[in-house]
């Protein structure tokens, strides 16, 4: 068994992390191109957003978490998520303040640019460091602070899980999760072999101009992994706005609706599209080809795997009755 675990580390982990079955502190990991050193096992960690919190729960580090932030201010917690979160409190419904994190005696913060932190804002790795708070930045969000421009891929999720596994001495669990996810992804990719990729549009919000996912956002990786083509992949951004004229001209065959579970959710987005003078003529709208996905399914986290499978089922349905996605 030990040989198998070691082999998995060599296959799935970047070389700088493939060190041992157990973390020895201090330990260093990369965060948006910078090396951060964690002197000891974090005991009062704060995780921002539902997707990053789900990474922590998947690794089983609840006992090391003192609080979460940025969840109920935008969407509702599902009963399952509430149960898994247990007695861990939400310290701030949206972005945490510096005072919030200091008052909680935080020693580790996992967030991202535009996911709990803003470039030049009050809460950044630089502003937190003097208070003894180490910060790991969500890999997908590094596009906002890095000159390196590479399209989003599933490696972003694997990289974050790997780093958290090292930091919290859960390396074996991290490897197990990544191995399981890669097996599931391989099955999905097999289904798409030899088939034409459908044209896919993700509709997050916005009426005057649609807010959607560009080349550097996680949905671009999910759509491509499931066998589709993101029609806004030419947008040199992560999340951003485009025009309805461009979207309609691309004639999407499938539309992903982001279901915030508040403010009408996916149903209100669908109703808007079906009444839009341009979008109502697209193939996806005319044939009712929608996929409803929650926020945590479309941002980097464990729920990405289920999202890929749901997209694959929509892109390549087994039945002749296409796109029954409810």
Residues 161 and 277 in one domain: no
Residue 274 CA to residue 189 CA, distance in Å, equals: 31
Residues 58 and 94 in one domain: yes
Q: Answer yes or no: is 320 within a domain.
A: no
Residues 174 and 205 in one domain: no
Residue ending a domain, among 180, 203, 228, is 180
Residues 111 and 44 in one domain: yes
Q: Is the pLDDT of residue 80 over 50?
A: yes
Residues 91 and 149 in one domain: yes
Residue 101 CA to residue 237 CA, distance in Å, equals: 30
pLDDT score for 118: 97
Residues 52 and 131 in one domain: yes
Query: In this structure, what token pair is assigned to residue 235?
Result: 């947008």
Q: Answer yes or no: is 113 within a domain.
A: yes
Residues 173 and 243 in one domain: no
Q: What is the CATH number of the domain that holds 171?
A: 3.40.50.1980
Residues 223 and 254 in one domain: yes
CA-to-CA separations, 189 to 132, 308, 325, in angstroms, rounded: 44, 10, 20
Q: Answer yes or no: is 185 within a domain.
A: no
Residue ending a domain, among 124, 156, 180, is 180
- Domain limits for position 230: 195-315
Residue 173 CA to residue 171 CA, distance in Å, equals: 5
Residue 6 CA to residue 21 CA, distance in Å, equals: 7
Q: Answer yes or no: is 324 within a domain.
A: no
Radius of gyration from C-alpha coordinates of the chain: 20
Average pLDDT over residues 275-298: 97
- C-beta atoms surrounding 118 within 10 Å: 13
Q: Answer yes or no: is 137 within a domain.
A: yes
Q: What percent of the chain has pLDDT over 70?
A: 90
Q: Answer yes or no: is 30 within a domain.
A: yes
> 124-138, 198-212, 256-270, 287-301: which has the minimum mean pLDDT?
256-270
Residues 133 and 157 in one domain: yes
Residues 83 and 168 in one domain: yes
Average pLDDT over residues 45-68: 97
The percent helix, strand, coil of the chain (3-state, each to 5) is 40, 20, 40
Cβ partners under 8 Å of residue 114, min gap 6 = 141, 144, 238, 239
Residues 172 and 222 in one domain: no
Cβ partners under 8 Å of residue 254, min gap 6 = 198, 199, 200, 201, 228, 284, 289, 290, 291, 314, 315, 323
pTM attached to this predicted model: 0.90
Q: Answer yes or no: is 61 within a domain.
A: yes
pLDDT band at 265 (very low <50, low <70, confident <90, very high): confident
Count of structural domains within the chain: 2
pLDDT score for 303: 96
pLDDT band at 261 (very low <50, low <70, confident <90, very high): low
Q: Answer yes or no: is 321 within a domain.
A: no
Residues 15 and 48 in one domain: yes
Residue ending a domain, among 180, 215, 240, is 180
């Amino acid at each position: 068994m030990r040989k198998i675990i070691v082999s998995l580390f060599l296959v799935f982990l970047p070389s700088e992390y493939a060190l041992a079955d157990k973390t020895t502190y201090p330990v260093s990991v990369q965060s948006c191109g910078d090396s951060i050193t964690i002197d000891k096992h974090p005991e009062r960690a704060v995780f921002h957003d539902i997707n990053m919190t789900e990474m922590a729960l998947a690794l089983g580090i609840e006992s090391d978490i003192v609080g979460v932030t940025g969840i109920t201010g935008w969407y509702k917690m599902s009963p399952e998520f509430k149960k898994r979160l247990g007695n861990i409190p939400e310290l701030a419904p949206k972005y945490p303040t510096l005072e919030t994190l200091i008052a909680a005696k935080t020693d580790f913060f996992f967030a991202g640019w535009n996911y709990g932190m803003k470039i030049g804002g009050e809460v950044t790795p630089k502003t937190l460091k003097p208070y003894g708070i180490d910060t790991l930045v969500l890999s997908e969000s590094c596009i906002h602070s890095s000159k390196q421009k590479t399209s989003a891929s599933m490696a972003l999720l694997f990289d974050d899980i790997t780093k958290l596994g090292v930091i919290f001495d859960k390396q074996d669990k991290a490897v197990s999760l990544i191995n399981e996810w890669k097996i599931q992804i391989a099955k999905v990719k097999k289904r798409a072999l030899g088939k034409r990729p459908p044209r896919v549009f993700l509709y997050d919000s916005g009426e005057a101009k649609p807010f959607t996912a560009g080349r550097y956002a996680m949905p671009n990786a999910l759509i491509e992994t499931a066998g589709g083509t993101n029609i806004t992949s030419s947008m040199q951004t992560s999340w951003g706005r485009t025009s309805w004229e461009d979207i309609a001209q691309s004639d999407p065959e499938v539309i992903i609706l982001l279901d915030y579970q508040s403010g009408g959710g996916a149903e209100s987005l669908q109703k808007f599209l079906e009444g839009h003078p341009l979008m109502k003529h697209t193939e996806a709208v005319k044939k009712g080809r929608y996929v409803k996905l929650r926020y945590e399914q479309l941002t980097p986290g464990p729920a990405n795997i289920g999202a890929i499978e749901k997209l694959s089922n929509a892109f390549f349905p087994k039945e002749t009755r296409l796109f029954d996605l409810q």
